Amino acid sequence: QSALTQPRSVSGSPGQSVTISCTGTSSDVGGYNYVSWYQQHPGKAPKLMIYDVSKRPSGVPDRFSGSKSGNTASLTISGLQAEDEADYYCCSYAGSYYVVFGGGTKLTVL
């Protein structure tokens, strides 16, 4: 299984919206509604932001939303805030209990 493809970096100004894409195949992203997104600040453990494509865990602001179309999943962050600057990773179930992550995207808040 190959890693999911994410842009290396994205940026936006405070208050704007940014979207991070995550491209896989019909064997992972496209085949299951089990895509999750993680936020990771430097030196910290990852934090679950979205699961099952578009569900938000308790405590995650509704500025964070997830979606999927075909083999590509997306994380949208609206109303960007300084504290959103972090690395973001997508993750997908790939069948036969295999899980694959994306390479990560560095979000810079300008």
Partner 1 sequence: EVQLVESGGGLVQPGGSLRLSCAASGFTFSSYEMNWVRQAPGKGLEWVSYISSSGSTIYYADSVKGRFTISRDNAKNSLYLQMNSLRAEDTAVYYCATQLSYGSFDYWGQGTLVTVSS
User: Which stretch in 18-26, 29-37, 62-70, 77-85 sits in contact with partner 1 by CB under 8 A?
Assistant: 29-37
- Of the residues 14, 17, 69, 99, which one makes contact with partner 1 according to CB under 8 A: 99
**Interacting residues of 76 by C-beta distance below 8 A, sequence separation 6+:** 17, 18, 19, 20, 64, 65, 66, 67
Rg of the chain's alpha carbons, rounded to an integer?
Answer: 13
Q: Is 107 in the site for partner 1 (CB under 8 A)?
A: no
Q: Are strands 47-50 and 18-23 parallel, antiparallel or unpaired?
A: unpaired
Binding mask 49-88 for partner 1 (x = CB under 8 A): --xx----x-------------------------------
